[in-house]
Amino acid sequence: MKLALFDLDNTLITGDSDFEWAQFLIEKKALDRELHEARNLEFYEQYKAGTLDIHEFLDFQLKPLSRHPRTQLETWRREFINKKIKPLIAPGTQKLIENHMLDGDLCIIITATNSFVTAPIAQVLGISNLIATNPEEKDGEFTGKVFGTPCFREGKIERLEAWLDQHNLTWLSFLQSWFYSDSLNDLPLLSKVTHPVAVDPDETLKKHAVENDWPIISLR
């Protein structure tokens, strides 16, 4: 058996779904532009620089989910996927996924972005397995807090290993494993797989890939 792991933001799609979701809510006037737009940009720059405090960011990013009924959020999400995300799917994404599926590989999207935003994106891409940061829920509504370990940096390894354990699998279950990512934040998980692949990488990841003779590809 072989394992194929895919980061989502700026890897399979040519943008960041976390960032775009916040901008979409600002456009919908669900968030105040003056209060949230600059902060959203600030967190995005921190993420790209590898300095993001994930808990501070999640407090910012998940709070809006608690301010609106689930039905309203789901209505907005459908519009968001169609208008904002589908146009961002990288041209080479479907072929890459199809190649791994044709080989019978276990395909998983593993992303720091919360599962409310990313679950329908995974469905659009045809991948049924998703490991993402989970927003806490109570009685079917969001509390604005995170549930469990955020799926970020070393947390991706923790969450992946927990997922494998739930499915009676371990790293030793796989003869080969791939992880496709654009980000320096994914270096911990990239270093765990047998085939790390840098996809349209940031400068830090690109330098690391060159030094370690990792493949560098573009899906754009």
CA distance 29 to 139: 26
- Whether 103 is catalytic: no
DSSP H/E element including 90:
none
In this structure, are residues 199 and 217 in contact, taking their beta carbons and an 8 Å threshold? yes
In this structure, are residues 89 and 109 in contact, taking their beta carbons and an 8 Å threshold? no
CA distance 138 to 194: 39
CA distance 53 to 190: 20
CA distance 107 to 25: 30
Separation of CA 124 from chain center: 14
- Whether 7 is catalytic: yes
In this structure, are residues 180 and 110 in contact, taking their beta carbons and an 8 Å threshold? no
Active-site position among 7, 16, 105, 200: 7
The residues annotated with a catalytic role in the active site are 7, 9
